[in-house]
Chain A
Amino acid sequence: MRAIISVVGKDTFGILAKVSSVCFENRANVVDVNQSILQDMFVMVMMLDISDADCDFLRLKGDLEALGTQLGMQINIMHEDIFNSMHRI
């Protein structure tokens, strides 16, 4: 089972580190990262493997949203199925 995190907001120090550590604490394995900075805006998309038995998706989602509020950034996590069903036939 995989999930996708998107992070959008003003670039500051350590965003990648902070998001990754929330993933680590929740036993989610980062399998791919794509990040870019467009005119001071930080845009990152991260793919996670969340099939570990100790990984609780809803807790991870809550932690990421809390981090988003703390950093003043928009952080979302969504199940991979939604993207696959929308964009793949």
Chain B
Amino acid sequence: MLNLGDIMETINMIQNENLDIRTITMGISLLDCCDSDIDVSCKKVYDKILRKAGNLVRTGEDISKLYGIPIINKRVSVTPIAMLLAASGGDPVKYAKTLDRAGKEIGVNFIGGYSALVHKGFSAGDLELIRSIPQALSETDQVCSSVNVGTTKAGINMDAVALMGKVIVDAAKCTADRNCIGPAKLVVFCNAPEDNPFMAGAFHGIGEPDCVINVGVSGPGVVRAALSKYPDADLNRIADIIKKTAFKITRMGQLVGTEASKRLDVPFGIVDLSLAPTPAVGDSVAHILEEMGLEMCGTHGTTAALALLNDAVKKGGVMASSNVGGLSGAFIPVSEDAGMIAAAEAGVLSIEKLEAMTSVCSVGLDMIVVPGDTKPEAISAIIADEAAIGMVNTKTTAVRIIPAIGKDIGDSLEFGGLLGSGPVMRLNKNESPAKFIERGGRIPAPLQSLKN
């Protein structure tokens, strides 16, 4: 029989330490829905999503009951809509509304893929889609959007970077009456993964099969609780404890993913080994770093502690799953993490420190609220900095930044739910990067040879 201690440990992780499956995301290819008539194309999209994902939510709930594990979100990601738009032309917002309607009908809470991949340049449909993002996010509830502006192999498309600064500000203005929720559903990527199950950046990549199930696990609370039992352990031991805990968390994701794939008769894609925080007490990545011995997240030493955490999570998780992918690592979304919020409010966690942290963690500048009068070129410059880190280090980086229209330092934005609330963070206001951003063109891909 199983060991009593093991049984109680699992139950304790779920009941007291917020262990959960963060998301089961079904990726659906829409390439076979392309049509030269946009209305026909939208109808095919709607029908295919309902056909493939009609049972997704119920299956997720059944698995959750069977194993006694909370499965927080059920979501759908689709082929970047810009590709469908290339064939159909017409008003891209029609697609957004179709996705929103399909998402609500099947009962998921987000549907991702209102996306364009423009790292080397714009092709048909890309510019129209990107320009429509503010309106699309304002007129829908569930649709999430992402734009890939750079890769290690192609460099950074600075025309797209310049455009995205304006799109983000416009998206905030369009939703100013709803806590500027628009840009919270918009991610700008460098090296975007094709199999990411996490929103808002999920889309179904073109190299993926027709339909696939990806799972994102979570569990910062479990890691923190495990570390708290060893207050005096050295960092080798800390890394070891994180690895073991990540292994257990990931095994659960693998189990749930395999079962969901079997029940839905859809191939199992990947487990995303992530520590995804929520604003709930005891579910914070910042608190893990503080458990390691930092008085507050954001102080000197935070980057080193995060590097250790991120690497140990991957090492522990890789062995626990048959296929690992997505973003895999520790997330550091400011508004979604109680410890990050506290550190930002105290002025200990600055945007510059967050940028340094993104060079060793899984994604990037995530859920950061900035003053409402921030200029588009400043946001573009932040995107360029972040994309450069991703491009040079061959890793995924992203920017999800929210200009809080009408607010300034000292205020905060309340999104509610998993998105949390974010204090407005200070940016460098006086010295403009406008000339650099206006130049446009491309930052060439970095040299990846001559490494000896």
Contacts and interface: CB of A to CB of B under 8 A. Distances in A.
Interface string A15-35: 000000000000000001010
Contact of A86 (B1, B4, B10, B66): B10
A86 B67 contact: no
Nearest to A80: B2
A22 B227 CA distance: 39
Interface residues of A, number: 23
Given A57-B66, A76-B68, A79-B67, A86 B11 contact: no
B319 to A, nearest CB: 8
B393 to A, nearest CB: 32
B177 interface: no
B251 interface: yes
B333 to A, nearest CB: 27
B236 interface: no
B71 to A, nearest CB: 13
A71 to B, nearest CB: 17
* Chain A CB within 10 Å, residue with most, of B1, B3, B7, B69: B7
B252 A85 contact: yes
Nearest to A83: B2
Tell me the dominant secondary structure on chain B's binding face: helix
Interface string A46-89: 01000000000110010000000000001011111111111100
Given A79-B67, A85-B252, A87-B248, A34 B10 contact: no
A34 B68 contact: no
A58 B4 CA distance: 24
A4 B65 contact: no
Contacts of A84: 2
A87 B1 contact: no
B65 A86 contact: no
A4 B67 contact: no
Given A4-B2, A87-B2, A87-B3, A82 B65 contact: no
Interface string B206-248: 0000000000000000000000000000000000000000001
B255 interface: yes
A34 B3 contact: no
Most buried by A among B10, B69, B248: B10
A85 B255 contact: yes
Chain A CB within 10 Å, residue with most, of B2, B15, B68, B248: B2
B4 A45 contact: yes
B6 interface: yes
Contacts of A4: 2, 7
Contacts of A57: 65-66
A43 B8 CA distance: 10
Contacts of B3: 87
B66 A85 contact: no
B254 interface: yes
B68 A86 contact: no
Contact of B69 (A61, A80, A82): A82
Contacts of B8: 6, 43, 45
B255 A83 contact: no
Given A76-B11, A86-B10, A87-B248, A81 B1 contact: no
Contact of B10 (A32, A47, A58, A82): A82
Nearest to B6: A87
B2 A61 contact: no
A80 B15 CA distance: 17
26 contacts: A4-B7, A32-B1, A45-B7, A45-B8, A57-B66, A74-B15, A76-B11, A76-B15, A79-B66, A79-B67, A79-B68, A80-B2, A81-B255, A82-B69, A82-B255, A83-B2, A84-B2, A85-B254, A85-B255, A86-B6, A86-B10, A86-B248, A86-B252, A87-B3, A87-B9, A87-B10
